[in-house]
Amino acid sequence: MKKVLLFAAAGVMALAACQEKGGYTINGTIASAKDGDYVYMRYYEGKEAVTVDSAIVKNGKFEFKGMPDSIYAPKFITYGDDMQYINALVFTEEGNITLQMAEGNSKASGTAANDAFAAFSEKYADYENQMTAIATTYRTDSTLTDVQKDSLVEAYDKIMDDCMDYIYSQTEVNIENAVGAYLLQSNGFSFDVEQANALMQKLPQKFMSSSMAGLKEYLDNAMKTVVGNKYIDFTMNTPEGETVKLSDFVTKNKYTLIDFWASWCGPCRQEMPNVVEAYKQFKNKGFGIVGVSLDKDAEQWKKAIKDLNITWPQMSDLKAWQCEGAKLYGVRAIPATVLVDQEGTIVARNLRGDEIASKLSELLK
């Protein structure tokens, strides 16, 4: 009889093991939580958080069990309220996952994707800490000279560039798994268009969820206007209300700079003196500019044109970030520029500062 019961118990255990095969277990700790507190598992659809599970804390511990689903995006384990909110990112893949939650320092480990993301996050945090230290010094040290400030800005920009290179490299290394998909979705808009598109082409179809739709649409549009392609014509109004086409100006100049900007954009206003200087230097050599404003207020647009000494043609549909021209050229941050030759071929994009004059010196010898 005992032997029969033992075999029966073994059969039940085997069945349970079969049912759990492919599942995940998250063993979490959160020292600041009280017994009976809830921890929630969520994912995001756009900006909307969808709660899929919850767990109760006991002795500072909690547990989630489940099966990986078809949604590639990681889950977010959350605890607390407006007074104290702790958040952790977890890839719910098969295996035993250890999750340590603490304010500003949560970490998931134990499976391939979570280990890879933890390693990425540690290095990324180092870059962030370096940039924060520089920014704090720049903002709070009143004894800094202009030379020292310029040096800090240069150091900050160098670390930022190194950080973006690191993010790109880790996205590329992981592009066939969930970590790469998440990094591409999160950072793809900041990558060089052609590099981001190359990663998108390598991304497995199973990761092409609805959350990737915005990035894919952006890349599809932006790839139509990369260097070497023909520019895309569009029609808008001048500040005086006259309807004009982009081609009205491109065909008149040896080279035309399409300058996407807005009166409300601080970096645009800071960059404008460089654009003004380039125009003065090269306008008699066949160089022209067309400003495409992402303004919504016509009066503010007109005022900025006067205040910033802008003397070249301007056009806008006054739709702000819904600007049709910006959409055609995949513009998601301003200032942004597109340099076009008289035949309509795009020869450069996103020239800034001294780069504008340097490129024109090369082209208009």
At 94-111, the pLDDT tens digits run 999 999 998 888 999 999
Residue with tokens 């260097």: 227
Counting residues of the chain whose pLDDT is more than 70, the rounded percentage is 92
Residue 5: the pLDDT is: 31
Residue 8 predicted with pLDDT over 70: no
SS (H, E, C) 267-336: HHHHHHHHHHHHHHHHHHHCEEEEEEECCCCHHHHHHHHHHCCCCCCEEECCCHHHCHHHHHCCCCCCCE
Task: Give, as one character, the DSSP assignment of residue 63.
Answer: E
Residue 68: the pLDDT is: 87
Residue 10 predicted with pLDDT over 70: no
Which pair of tokens denotes residue 254? 């040896």
Residue 21: the pLDDT is: 60
Using 50, 70 and 90 to split pLDDT, how confident is the model at 209? confident
Counting residues of the chain whose pLDDT is more than 90, the rounded percentage is 75
Side-chain half-sphere of 223: how many Cα atoms within 13 Å?
13
Q: Can you tell me the mean pLDDT for 311-332?
A: 94
Q: Can you tell me the mean pLDDT for 343-349?
A: 95
In terms of Cα–Cα distance, which of 192, 236, 203 is closest to 330? 192
Residue 15: the pLDDT is: 33
Residue 317 is which amino acid? D
Domains and CATH numbers, the chain: 20-108 (2.60.40.1120), 113-225 (no CATH), 235-363 (3.40.30.10)
Residue 45: the pLDDT is: 75
Residue 74 predicted with pLDDT over 50: yes
Residue 162 predicted with pLDDT over 50: yes
Q: What value does the mean pLDDT of the chain take?
A: 89
The pTM score is 0.77
CA distance 149 to 121: 29
| Angle, in degrees to the nearest 10, between helices 193-202 and 213-222 | 130
CB 350 within 8 A of CB 356: no
CB 28 within 8 A of CB 72: no
